[in-house]
A and B are shown apart, each in its own frame.
Chain A
Amino acid sequence: MTAWDDAVAAARIMAAAPLRIGGVLVRARPGPVLDAWLTIAGNGVRLRRIPAGVGEDRLLGGLDLGATLAAGRPVAQAGILAEADEGVLVLPMAERASRAVAAYISAALDTGEVIAQRDGVSLRAPAWFGLIAIDESTDEEEGVASALAERLAMHIDLSEISVADMSVNAAEVQGALASIERGQIEVLVGTAMALGIGSLRAPMLAGRVAQVAAGLAGRRLVVADDLSLAARLVLAPRALTMPSAEEEQAPAPQEQESLPNEGEGKSPEPGDLDEIVLEAALAALPEELFQGSSQRGAAGEGRAGASEISYRRGRPLTSRKGDPRQGRLDILATLRAAAPWQRLRGRKADAPIAIRRDDFMVKRFRHNTESAMIFVVDASGSAAAQRLGEVKGAIELLLGEAYVRRDTIALVVMRGEGAELALPPTKALAAAKRRLAGLPGGGGTPMASGIDLGMASALDAKRRGFAPTLILLTDGKANIARDGEPGRARAMEDALQSARLVRAGGVDTILIDTSPRPSAAAETLAREMGARYAPLPFADARRVSDAVKGAA
């Protein structure tokens, strides 16, 4: 089974029963591979693309203003979701879809209908569709909103497949749904649990995929092959944990086809089948998945959604009467304001709607930028010896403050030869605390790398519409250069260079000196960064917190 074979299997299953399985999440860049895949997945069904950056009114439906004015009464217009009823929707650049868009689509996938209550119209229309979400993100940080990904049965990755890998496939067999036994459902449930998948949707969707796959192969009963395929397409991409240590080097059984069809036996040995299905899932796992920490769970929380605020420039408030030159005209509200008076103003049937200056309504927004605190923590040997514990305490206090203000926080750790992003931006402060508590100290101080990474995170946060604050906790004693080589002089030089970049970047920065008494190195660094400098007062976490609050 090559990756392309599995992808084709997924495409066929999607084409055969899009409404039953919810959809596919495809990780791919636009190109011939994706096109070929979409052709198979779209075989015999209507594919409809959702334009990028689609508005709520288009997606859900709303008031059709033109028709409303022509008809003289409100005319509702169906949205894309309702128009796609019984068809398949394609969501390109799914990782850019806002959390709201993901939530609308999820709700429609759940209920099979779309309900819109907006702009003075009330709309309820059937919307039962399958969704192909195309995740074009390049880095792990992005990802499709998890609420949406969760509801799409199969997750496949086409990004590693080249045109040469694609082969022409034999004609397909159309078939009805095969039936699945309780024992087989148990196998899927067990496999999902072994892989650390909490949601019940996953094994349920896997069961459906297995049924469709068996049907496509012309079988009336689900067999082990189908379960394996379902495990690869549905369960493996959702895996969070490795089942147990000994299976770490999964034997990668690529030859499941040759196995006898256990599923058809009277009483399949659940143990055996469990293993086959689990192995199938494991074989499909990317190798690097379990090497790092469990960051996968944190990914895909719809990061793109966070930037919503900057797109919309704050929270819309109700429109008010006003001069359209001093704001954005709210056309709909203006028409609504004018509408009741049309008779009185003597409007003839075909005449344009009469709008007076009093009718003008302007949009109002409340600008409310969320802040992001990026902590860069020096966990080097020298810092650890002195007061890593105090620093942790201070950060915890700050986290408490951040919770109250609903801030987003991120944690960069400088230790050993380089810096790492120990915690990508999150609001899950409990996770932040856990990560912090388990933070070991030791090694050198790769100051330049730490500042660079902190700055990169800050700029990234800025792009996403946050107001970042960089908080550097260090004793200022750099001893690892940017390239990971030890050496105090060069390390310091690199650190100062990075510091100047921070100043140039115009990010709000605070440096908290963690050395026993205020050190010249830290002060210099703060000056070069344009940071506010605050020495950590002795053994008093509370005062650090105050220092940051006072400065921020």
Chain B
Amino acid sequence: MADAFPFSAIVGQDEMKTALLIAAVEPAVGGVLAFGDRGAGKSTAVRALAALLPDLDVVPGCPYGCDPAEECTPDCPRKKSKKAAQRPAPVVDLPLGVTEDRVVGALDLERALTSGEKVFEPGLLARAHRGFLYIDEVNLLEDHIVDLLLDVAASGENVVEREGLSVRHPARFVLVGSGNPEEGELRPQLLDRFGLSVEVSTPVDIKDRVAVIERREAYERDRMTFAERWQRDEDRLREKIVRARSAVADVKVPRRMLEVAARLCVALGADGLRGELTLVRAARGLAALGGQKSITIKHLRKVAPMAMRHRLRRDPLDESGSGVRVERAVAEVFGA
């Protein structure tokens, strides 16, 4: 699709937008899962994010789009040329019905058929390197492909051993999954592999609902004009991301904040360090987005629900929703 719906034009859905922006600024948070109602703009938001991401410096001709400043595969053309090229940050859509060979990469059929050469043809994981990999309807994807994606997302490296090929290449990307709980719940083991998890629901306010429809219709009628109308907001947001990216590494995490994060995890009974790490990283991303130099209670409090709600020991029969439990714990730890 040529012109995606502008990110800034999405009505409401603050939590989802914040989570995506945090992931764009601090990819180390480890992916975003957006679960919720149909037609609430989950895929729209992810596709819109693509237009906001700043271009990347890449090694010209490298099939993996490597950063000129880092080591990639042994046969990377980086050694031949010192120049860098630019290309848009990839947001790769994982289509439904994708087969494993296209995800991890496989033998290049064309080369094999015409010249009898055995050459590796990179797959979608290679394309997503340094960008986003988006799976719509993540609960409809074949289990073995989901496992594979999570494995690579966690290790940052894709190892291919098939058809007599033996290849390894970097594949670091932010995994974004979306889905609808009606289609079936996600396997619990899978849930906490995502860094952030947001619940998306359709706006209930009538004004918001009308605004959503009006904007959507205006966009469908004339995409160019609509895009122009939102250009300024989009530019501003892109600026903000660029600034936050360069600042995020310098955002300070006071020791006291680490303690608060740890206390919160204990209060929620979330085991493992992943929860604390995600909390702190997300808070850092949020602080960077806001231009602040160090993280505060305010940041932790805002990211706590999205960082924690899917890590609770889930009681499948508890309907009150994990969001409520997180809020309760937050109120306890931070003192309402």
Query: Contact residues of A with B, CB < 8 Å?
Result: 56, 60, 63, 68, 72-74, 99-100, 103-104, 107, 110-113, 115-122, 146-147, 150, 182, 185-186, 189-190, 193, 198-201, 203-204, 207-208, 301-302, 315, 317-318, 336-337, 339-344, 396, 399-400, 403-404, 406, 427, 429-430, 433-434
Name, among B118, B140, B217, the residue most crowded by chain A CB atoms within 10 Å (CB to CB).
Answer: B140
Contact check, B212 vs A200: say whether CB atoms are below 8 A apart. Answer: yes
Q: Is A201's CB under 8 angstroms from B39's CB?
A: yes
In contact, B98 and A118 (Cβ under 8 angstroms): yes
Residues of A contacting B101 with CB < 8 Å?
118-120
Interface residues of B in 104-163 (CB under 8 A from A): 106-107, 109-110, 112-118, 121, 123-124, 136-137, 140, 142-144, 162-163
User: B206: which of A189, A198, A301, A344 is its contact (CB, 8 Å)?
Assistant: A189
In this complex, the interface size class of chain B, counting residues with CB under 8 Å from chain A, is 35 or more
Contacts of A146 in B (CB 8 A): 38, 182
Contacts of B273 in A (CB 8 A): none
Would you call B316 an interface residue if the criterion is a C-beta within 8 Å of the partner chain's C-beta atoms? yes
Q: A113-B1, A204-B213, A340-B118 are in contact. Are A147 and B317 (CB under 8 A)?
A: no
Q: Is the CB of A199 within 8 A of B96?
A: no
Chain A residue, CB-CB nearest to B315: A400
Residue contact B213 to A203, C-beta cutoff 8 Å: yes
Given that A116-B95, A430-B316 are contacting pairs, would A100 and B107 also be in contact in the complex, using a CB cutoff of 8 Å? no
Q: Is B40 an interface residue (CB 8 A)?
A: yes
* Additional pairs, 5, CB under 8 Å, beyond known A200-B213, A396-B317: A56-B97, A72-B113, A107-B96, A340-B116, A403-B317
Q: Does B202 contact A (CB under 8 A)?
A: yes
Q: B38 to A204, Cβ gap below 8 A?
A: no
Q: CB distance B202 to A199 under 8 Å?
A: yes
Is the CB–CB distance between A60 and B319 below 8 Å?
A: no
B99 within 8 A of A: yes
Interchain CA distance A118-B183 in the complex, whole Å: 24
User: Does B188 lie within 8 Å of A115, measured CB to CB?
Assistant: no
Contact A429:B317 (CB < 8 A) given known A117-B99, A339-B112: yes
- Docked pose: A119 CA to B180 CA in angstroms: 28
Measured CB to CB, the closest approach of chain B to A509, in angstroms, equals 25
Judging by beta carbons under 8 Å apart, are A317 and B144 in contact? yes
Residue B15, interface by CB 8 Å: no
Pairs A-B, 4 closest by C-beta atoms: A343-B116, A403-B316, A117-B102, A201-B39
Q: How many A-B pairs with Cβ below 8 Å? A: 161
Give the nearest-CB partner of B121 in chain A.
A120
Tell me what chain A mostly uses at the interface: helix, strand, loop, or mixed: helix
Task: Quote the shortest CB–CB distance from A190 to chain B (angstroms).
Answer: 6
Closest to A337 in B: B163
Would A340 and B206 count as touching, CB distance under 8 A? Answer: no
Please name the residue on chain A nearest to B164 by beta carbon. Answer: A340
The reply to whether the CB of B328 lies closer than 8 angstroms to some CB of chain A is no
Closest A residue to B11 using CB positions: A200
Closest to A434 in B: B319
**List of B residues within 8 angstroms of A74 by Cβ:** 109-110, 113
A–B complex contacts, Cβ < 8 Å, 12 sampled: A100-B140, A103-B96, A116-B95, A119-B99, A189-B206, A193-B209, A200-B213, A339-B113, A342-B116, A403-B316, A404-B188, A429-B316
Contact yes or no, B140 A103, CB < 8 A: yes
